[in-house]
Amino acid sequence: MKSLKKQRRIQVIAVAALALALATGLIGYAMRDGINFFRAPSQVIAEPPGPSEVFRIGGLVEEGTLVRDEGETVRFSVTDGGASVPVVFSGLLPDLFAENQGMVGTGRYVNGVFEATEILAKHDEDYMPAEVVDALKAQGVYKAPGES
């Protein structure tokens, strides 16, 4: 009788461990495309990611680089003060998107150009994403709101 209880307990523990391993594997598989790491332009230039890696890039839209092609294609460069990365985006830009303003884009770095699938711009005069502020501070070009 005791060995039957012991055997049953071992079976329950084994099934629970298997279920936990399966659940962990499924969660990891589901999140593999959902996690996008942030990189500053200086980091992208120093260590270019592979063309299949999706990540976020952020900084300031470099002045004088915003070019609107025919249709919805837009080209510009994003900078953190230390390096600039050319960006191409096809789609509608946010209303607050402008030169010398903060932005964050999601996409891939292919042949020296960041091909963005999504562009986000700061939503008011004072806000800038924390990752962009940190990248600009690291390059020594960050100006707090209200500074000239």
Determine the pLDDT at residue 70: 79
Give yes or no for residue 21 having a pLDDT over 80: yes
Given this model, what pLDDT does residue 127 score? 57
Indicate whether this model's pTM tops 0.75.
no
In tens, the pLDDT along 61-96 reads 998 998 888 788 999 999 988 889 999 999 888 888
Encode the chain in three state secondary structure. Answer: CHHHHHHHHHHHHHHHHHHHHHHHHHHHHHHCCCCCEEECHHHHHHCCCCCCCCEEEEEEECCCCCEECCCCEEEEEEECCCCEEEEEEECCCCCCCCCCCEEEEEEEEECCEEEEEEEEECCCCCCCCHHHHHHHHHHCCCCCCCCC
